[in-house]
Amino acid sequence: MEFREEGEVEPVSPTGQYFNSSILSVAILAVLEFELPINDSQALSLLQDVFLPINPRFSSIMVSDNVDQKRQWKRVEVKLEDHVHVPIFPSKMSPESYDEYFDDYISNIAAEKFPQNRPLWEIHILKYPTSHAAGTLIFKLHHALGDGYSLMGALLSCLQSAQNPSVPLTFPSLKSSGPQTTHKTKTVSQFFSSVFQTVSDFSWSILKSNFVEDDRTPIRSGEDGVEFRPIKLSTLTFSIDEIKLIKNKLGVTTNDVIAGIIFLGTRIYMQEVTQKSSNERCTALVLLNTRNIEGYMPIKEMIEPNSDEMSWGNQFGFLHVSVPKSTEISNPLDFVWEAQKIIKKKRSSAAGYLTSWLLDVLKKFRGPEEAARYIHGTLKNSSMTISNMIGPVEKMALANQPVCGFYYMVVGPPQCLTITALSYMGKLRVAFGAEKGFIDSHKLKASMQNAFRVILEASYQIPPAKAA
């Protein structure tokens, strides 16, 4: 593992520059909930001995070259005390009261921007019991450091199995488990279909990023500056076994089921708020990991400069997926099948590569700020972003302290709603980052729970592996 000396520099990737610009500042919050009260006495030594050596970027700041203003990672001395925050709340309160303090605290740190004069990460240790945990630790990491896969891999490398710390954590396969047909060669019709889909998707992406906005709805205000407004972070937990039951009955993938539940829940929420059928134009940006891998890799392999997989960094793409309208669908299962059809079709498109090429062109001729502006427009003109990741199958621990809950949230995009999903110990934790005062988080959660219930109940009525 290469570890640079203080003062040495490394070029910042284009995506890293886009996400840390005057136009965009996007970060990831990873939340660990503990069964027992947190003992933070080992925090500094763990950061020094385990976390910082993972990647030189954790000990670097982003600077501009004096000659051509290219941005670079510069190695600096890390003052750990500047990165560790332990808030003080009133003592001897009920877990429900601490829930409110936790909500306000995480809303505040989500809105705060990283100082540019020190490495772009920090941790927050909340030593008070909530209704979910005896204590909570929040990692906040800037998206310029890497994408969810990279940062999750780094975080998980600091954790061990709670049952046997000497045994590596295990994960479900990243391979799609849905029905697939493999062809060694593509027919002429498939080739032209793929070309048409690519042109269509790329053209639509340009229009969406620059001219065509989603309608203003109960989940999209359409106002400027929503990325600077406080959010309410809430979560739901679903059974992985029940999601697999739906998946097997419908003959789709787990991702299709998750997308279908979110799409139906979104329409139910919009109808609840407006008291009329939800037919507004509503687009979700679905984030996809573009690595050709089947699971998390060891950290040493992830950061290897010559790795064929380019495992560390921002290696992802997004799909513009139109949320089905309520009036067009009578069966709740159709939300899942429609999600499958749209996502499958868009996966065959090469529009993501063309979008990357367009961003490179914008960066070359007009600078990284203009490329960041394009991404900002893509996010702002859509209604929400959806991303999901896999977590360990067994219970994990940090310094022998068992972790009972685990979820994450992307903060800073110019949207009123962001949804993430993370599996852990047979459960799927779905998190909602919703603009305070605009989206009713309680009603949104109830709508998502209702969507899951009706899809699960409807799936019982059909024979297994019924194709759309």
- pLDDT tens-digit readout, 290-319: 555 555 555 555 555 554 444 665 555 677
330 compared with 381, residue with greater pLDDT: 381
The residue ranges of DSSP E strands in 368-416, in sequence order, are 384-389, 396-398, 401-411
Tell me whether strands 121-126 and 84-85 are parallel, antiparallel or unpaired.
parallel
Lowest mean pLDDT among 41-45, 62-66, 422-426: 62-66
**Structure-token pair, residue 361:** 């062109």
**Structure-token pair, residue 235:** 């979560």
Q: What is the pLDDT of residue 314?
A: 58
Helix 441-459 with 333-347: angle, nearest 10 deg: 90
pTM for this predicted structure: 0.88
If you average pLDDT over every residue of the chain, what do you get?
Answer: 85
Q: Mean pLDDT throughout 79-100?
A: 95
Q: Mean pLDDT throughout 394-407?
A: 93
Do residues 372 and 18 lie in contact, with contact meaning Cβ atoms separated by under 8 Å? yes
Beta bridge partners of 401: 398
**Structure-token pair, residue 446:** 């109830």
Q: What is the pLDDT of residue 3?
A: 45
Measured in whole angstroms, the distance separating CA 143 from the mean position of its chain's CA atoms is 10
The rounded distance, in Å, linking the Cα atoms of 422 and 49 is 27
In the chain, the domains with their CATH numbers are: 9-161 (3.30.559.10), 188-387+426-459 (3.30.559)
Lowest mean pLDDT among 242-246, 349-353, 434-438, 447-451: 349-353
